[in-house]
Structure 1
Amino acid sequence: MEIAIRNELIDTYYSAVDDADFDRMLTAFTEDVEYLYPGEEPMHGHGAVRTFFEERRKTKNTTHDVFRRVHDDTATVCEGTITGQMGEDSLDGAYVGVFEFDDDAGRISYVGVYTRL
């Protein structure tokens, strides 16, 4: 998959997360997406990912700023900062997101999130 398309999908994901627009977020993913997040069991598919974001995600009102992207033949790694809220407290942290893609579907098939919150 072209790097420009990968970046567009990743930007859609982060923007939709920050806007709490989970319908738009899921458009960037394959139906059987695998999603890994610290402290959570691995999630598979749109339903599991939506449930996490709507019911269990501890961060709210976030802004993700990607400042580094590294691409290889099958994956893209993004490094960035995140601000927002965690409960009643303000959030100022860092993250790395690992993305793999399904070329045939033109979507993200895997997301691994690693955080320092």
Structure 2
Amino acid sequence: MGDTEPESVVREYYDLVDAGQYDDLVALFNEDVRYERPGQDAIEGRDALLTFYEDGRPLENGSHDVHDVVVDGDTVAVRGTFAGEQNGDAVEFGFADFHVFEGDEIARRYTFTDRDEV
């Protein structure tokens, strides 16, 4: 790891996604990032990730409440809740995310929720 602690990077991720600052958010990931969500195609590469956050993400106007952050080597696990809107309807649900680092950047991300699609 370099100067930036993985936990700080991951906490910044949630701040940026909630603020809609997607260019800054995508900069936390490496060029070959792979983002996997159950039952949906993986998102591969920084450009595809930016497109997902700008156009493809069904969640909006929400905020993440991070309950637990566990760091184990190059992996940061997060448990929390999200409250916001999905397709115009108010939603609130639990999530677990796993961020795997290569150096100072997130290389792989996995999201698990109690909803079908996020």
For residue 84 of structure 1, report the CA deviation from its aligned partner: 0.4
For residue 20 of structure 1, report the CA deviation from its aligned partner: 1.3
Find the counterpart in structure 1 of residue 110 from structure 2: 112
SS at match of 2:15: helix
Distance 1:47 1:95 in 2: 24
Distance 1:93 1:48 in 2: 25
Find the counterpart in structure 2 of residue 14 from structure 1: 14
For residue 100 of structure 1, report the CA deviation from its aligned partner: 0.6
1:1-117 counterparts in 2 under 5 A? 1=1, 5-103=5-103, 106-117=104-115
Q: C-alpha deviations, 1:67-103, integer Å up to 9, x for none?
A: 1112212211100000000112101111000011012
Q: Aligned-pair RMSD on alpha carbons?
A: 1.5
For residue 5 of structure 1, report the CA deviation from its aligned partner: 0.9
Once the two structures are aligned, what percentage of the paired residues are identical? 28
| C-alpha contact 2:10 2:76 (8 A) present in aligned 1 | no
Q: Which runs of 4+ in 1 moved over 3 A?
A: none
Q: Which runs of 5+ in 2 are unaligned?
A: none
Which amino acid in the other structure matches residue 114 of structure 1? Answer: F
| C-alpha contact 1:12 1:24 (8 A) present in aligned 2 | no
Distance 1:26 1:88 in 2: 25
For residue 38 of structure 1, report the CA deviation from its aligned partner: 3.5
SS at match of 1:70: strand
Distance 1:107 1:114 in 2: 21
Which amino acid in the other structure matches residue 84 of structure 1? Answer: G
| C-alpha contact 2:82 2:93 (8 A) present in aligned 1 | yes
For residue 57 of structure 1, report the CA deviation from its aligned partner: 0.8
